[in-house]
């Protein structure tokens, strides 16, 4: 990784290629503390919010749209570690997806682009997705939406117009992932729907269960019912 461009680092000034290299071109380390040291270390400014959050959202979208190419450059472990850092314990980029000061169309486009990694990469994996970031992708994204009231499932008008559009975009994206012919993608989508209080989620999950019930164990059926009822953890 070329270090010249990371001096006085502002993540929103990086090109898409630099953004991906920053997060994925890293050795694999174990443990949250080690990951903090790996990604922060001498670059303390990384902990500061980007000066231009909209540019950051655009870079996340570019990462998703080019995820197939990134999977040819970086190992599955490097991708997994980088995604945890982008969305999880270090940066929390999911918060920008619900920031109304950022143009709505940019955020909707970013959410819709998140279908691509599942279609182009996850759908070709043979690993247990529950051991990867992909399993938690939508769980973490939706944590950025709190503390919006869970009652919006039954009273959609409790949301602002911007919030409604974002929730609709997530629902449509999860619906597309659920339709992929790959069980790992499907359970990732179900997990996300279990945390999405969208008025159509219950019907979608029930339809999936009606079509696939015979393919699952009793324990799995109970879990899918929990996704339907938004009672998953």
| pLDDT beneath 70, residues of the chain | 1-9, 32-33, 35-49, 89-91, 146-157
pLDDT score of 112: 98
- Locate 151 and state its tokens: 């009652």
CA-wise closest residue to 199 among 145, 144, 158: 158
pLDDT computed for residue 35 by the predictor: 66
Contact 192, 137 (CB under 8 A): yes
Q: What is the pLDDT of residue 169?
A: 97
- 233 part of a folded domain: no
pLDDT of residue 176: 98
Predicted pLDDT at 11: 78
pTM: 0.89
Q: How far apart are CA 59 and CA 18, in angstroms?
A: 9
Q: Answer whether residue 8 is part of any domain.
A: yes
Supply the pLDDT for residue 44: 46
Give pLDDT, residue 232: 86
Structural domain count, the chain: 1
Cα–Cα dist 213/125, whole Å: 23
pLDDT of residue 2: 46
- Residue 14, classified by CB atoms within 10 Å of its CB into exposed (0-12), middle (13-18) or buried (19+), is buried
- Give the pLDDT confidence of 100-123 residue by residue, as tens digits: 999 999 999 999 999 999 999 999
List the domain range (segments joined by +) for residue 149. 4-228
Which structure tokens are listed for 96? Answer: 């920008």
Is 20 a domain residue? yes
Token duo for residue 57 = 């959202």
- 63-84 pLDDT, tens digit per residue, is 999 999 999 999 999 999 999 8
Burial code (b: 16+ CB inside 10 Å, e: under 16) for 164-182 equals ebbbbbbbebbbbbbebeb
């Amino acid at each position: 990784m070329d270090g010249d461009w990371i001096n006085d680092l502002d993540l929103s000034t990086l090109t898409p290629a630099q953004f991906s290299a920053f997060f994925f071109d890293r050795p694999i380390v174990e443990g949250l503390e080690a990951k903090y040291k790996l990604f922060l270390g001498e670059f303390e400014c990384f902990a500061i919010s980007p000066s231009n959050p909209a540019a950051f959202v655009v870079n996340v979208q570019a990462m998703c749209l080019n995820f197939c190419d990134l999977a040819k450059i970086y190992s599955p472990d490097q991708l997994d570690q980088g995604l945890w850092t982008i969305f999880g314990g270090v940066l929390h980029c999911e918060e920008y997806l619900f920031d109304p000061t950022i143009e709505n169309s940019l955020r909707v486009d970013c959410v819709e682009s998140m279908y691509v990694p599942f279609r182009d990469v996850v759908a070709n994996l043979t690993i247990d997705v529950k051991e990867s970031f992909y399993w938690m992708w939508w769980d973490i994204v939706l944590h950025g939406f709190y503390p919006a009231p869970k009652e919006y499932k039954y009273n959609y008008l409790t949301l602002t117009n911007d919030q409604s559009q974002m929730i609709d975009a997530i629902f449509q994206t999860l619906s597309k992932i659920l339709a992929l012919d790959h069980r790992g993608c499907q359970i990732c989508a179900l997990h996300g729907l279990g945390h999405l209080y969208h008025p159509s989620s219950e019907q979608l999950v029930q339809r999936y269960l009606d079509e696939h019930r015979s393919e699952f164990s009793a324990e799995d059926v109970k879990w899918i019912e929990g996704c339907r009822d938004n009672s998953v953890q």
